[in-house]
Amino acid sequence: MKLLEERILKDGMVLGEDILKADNFLNHQIDPVLMQAMGNEFASYFANKGITKILTIETSGIAPAVFAGLELGIPVIFARKHKSLTLIDNLYTTNVHSFTKGVTNKIAVSRNFLDATDHVLIIDDFLANGQAAKGLIEICRQAKASLAGIGIVIEKSFQPGRKDLEELGFDILSLARIRAFEKGVVKFVKEEEK
Ligand code: 5GP
């Protein structure tokens, strides 16, 4: 998605070998105009697939997921990473290792919001090693919900997440695909390489 690629080049910051800081528009300050354009992109790709719910993970998956949900006219659920006084039982849970924080979080989704009648679109902000997506897939498995596909805002294609998820048979739409960081500069996967 051209608009997103331009924004990454303008405001993204490469940290070390393999992290992109996107605090200006995605991970801290949020650009709602960009989020809406991205939500519409997810919605048009996954339209007519009978999707009943969008499942994401807090915090940064929520904004793009909500705009996709608005366009598709369906609810958005976010898996919680933090203990909540009101979310204590009747849960689907699994462990997710965080790529950026280096810690393992237990994530939880209430059984009230996901079940075997659901056909789910997973959305997240970044795809690196695929741990977050796999955690959300596991939540859907526990709920016996089926999966329509996975929407990712920024995929780092040099890390194994996409390949692993494709091998599991999932349909993945990534709005920006990063091939490499070359001397601190973001290089995208070229059209002919897709
Ligand atoms: P994975 O689970 O695929 O290894 O990593 C995806 C998760 O880690 C995302 O939910 C995101 O929060 C975080 N993440 C992975 N790589 C990056 C990155 O380069 N920049 C930022 N800001 N977050 C990342």
Widest distance between CA atoms in the chain: 50
pLDDT attached to residue 84: 73
Determine which residue's CA is closest to atom 11 belonging to ligand 1. Answer: 126
**Interatomic CA distance for residues 1 and 4, integer angstroms:** 6
pLDDT attached to residue 99: 83
**Interatomic CA distance for residues 99 and 58, integer angstroms:** 14
Long-range interactions of 171-176: CB distance < 8 A, separation 24+? 172/127, 173/41, 173/42, 173/45, 173/46, 173/149, 174/127, 175/1, 175/4, 175/38, 175/41, 175/42, 175/151, 176/1, 176/4, 176/5, 176/8
pLDDT attached to residue 74: 98
Using an 8 Å Cβ cutoff, are 65 and 76 in contact? Answer: yes
pLDDT confidence bin for 83, thresholds 50/70/90:
confident
pLDDT confidence bin for 187, thresholds 50/70/90:
very high
Residue 27 annotated as binding?
Answer: yes
From the alpha carbon of 57, which atom of ligand 1 is closest?
10
pLDDT attached to residue 87: 72
Q: What is the ipTM score, two decimals?
A: 0.99
Residue 131 annotated as binding?
Answer: yes
Structure-block tokens of residue 40: 């519409």
Residue 112 annotated as binding?
Answer: no
Structure-block tokens of residue 95: 């462990």
Pocket test residue of 27, 56, 57, 99 for ligand 1, highest count of atoms within 8 A of CB: 99
Structure-block tokens of residue 30: 């949020």
What is the per-residue pLDDT across 41-76, written as a single tens digit (0 to 9) for each?
999 999 999 999 999 999 999 999 999 999 999 999
Distance 60 CA to ligand 1 centre (A): 10
Pocket test residue of 60, 125, 126 for ligand 1, highest count of atoms within 8 A of CB: 126
Sign of CA dihedral 20, 130, 170, 60: negative
Q: Is 110 buried (19+), middle (13-18) or exposed (0-12) by CB count in 10 A? A: middle
Residue 29 annotated as binding?
Answer: no
What is the per-residue pLDDT across 133-180, written as a single tens digit (0 to 9) for each?
999 999 999 999 999 999 999 999 999 999 999 999 999 999 999 999
Among candidates 125, 144, 80, 133, which has minimal Cα distance to 107? Answer: 80
Distance 194 CA to ligand 1 centre (A): 21
Model pTM?
0.97
From the alpha carbon of 127, which atom of ligand 1 is closest?
3
From the alpha carbon of 15, which atom of ligand 1 is closest?
19
Residue 20 annotated as binding?
Answer: yes
- The mean pLDDT value of the chain amounts to 96
Which residues, other chains included, contact 137 with Cβ-Cβ below 8 Å and sequence gap of 6+?
A: 122, 147, 168, 170
pLDDT at 82 over 90: no
Q: Which domains does the chain have, with CATH numbers?
A: 2-82+90-180 (3.40.50.2020)
From the alpha carbon of 26, which atom of ligand 1 is closest?
22
